[in-house]
Structure 1
């Protein structure tokens, strides 16, 4: 099975220059905890609810004026849309992440693959559990 068959396709994103408040509202509305960050259509980072809390709110930054680029995580772990689930599991385990931004050949985000997604595939349940166990050991 390929990642493109299992990933969440209706990917919500945010522009790097948008204020943190806009990102937080989008996360709340969509009931999600992370947003890939784009600049000019290219993936430049990832913003999580934890980034907002720890890198912005804890420092007293104004969410109406602080741009997403100031608190996002610039390193984004990605996987190619045509990769296999086994490749995704290996990347998650090696990079110690629970979700991957799925990109096309031009590194544009086209979806999101989470450990939870892997656990929905019967033959992957055992593998997803093993990856989760290793992630929790750190």
Structure 2
């Protein structure tokens, strides 16, 4: 089973020149905590609600004037649409992430794949690692003593 068989295709994105306020409003409107950052169709990074707070609000600069490019994470991991879903699941488990952007071979964003996408796919019964990955990634962090 390929990632393209299970991914979500309609993905809201934000351009790097958008303001942090615009990005936060888009996140709120669709109920998500992160957005892929695309220059046209090309994936160039990701922006999370945490990025907005830690890299944006904490600086004291205005979220109206500060741009997504100032706070986004550029060094991100993605999956190719034609990759095997089981291999991508293993990568997600190793990286401890619940979702990955999906790109074509030109690095154009074509979707998002999440643990939920894989776990709810009827053919995912063949993916023996789904339960283990969900459990491992969902393990709560504990404060160090």
The TM-score, its normalising length taken from structure 2, stands at 0.85
Which secondary structure does the structure 2 equivalent of 1:53 belong to? helix
Number of equivalent positions: 138
Q: Which runs of 4+ in 1 moved over 6 A?
A: none
Q: Which moved more, 1:103-112 or 1:89-98?
A: 89-98
Q: Does 1:61 align with 2:61?
A: yes
Equivalent residues of 2:86, 2:127 under 8 A apart: no
The alignment yields a C-alpha RMSD, in angstroms, of 1.9
The runs of 5 or more residues in structure 1 that have no matched partner are none
Structure 2 distance, partners of 1:49, 1:115, is 20
My pick for the range that moved more, 92-101 or 9-18, is: 92-101
Provide TM-score, normalisation by structure 1.
0.89
Decide whether the 8 Å contact of 1:77 with 1:95 is kept in 2: no
**Closer/same/farther in 2, CA of residues 124 and 18 from structure 1, 3 Å limit:** farther
Higher mean alpha-carbon deviation, 108-117 vs 34-43, is at 34-43
Larger radius of gyration, structure 1 or 2? 2
Q: Match for residue 78 of structure 1?
A: 78
1:44-87 deviation line (CA, Å, top 9, x unaligned): 11001111122212332211010101111111111110112101
- Confirm or deny: 8 A CA contact 2:80 2:105 kept in the other structure: yes
Q: Mean alpha-carbon deviation: is it higher for 118-127 or for 92-101?
A: 118-127
Structure 2: state its 5+ residue gaps. Answer: none
Deviations 1:103-138 (A, max 9, x none): 011011100001121221241686223113323377
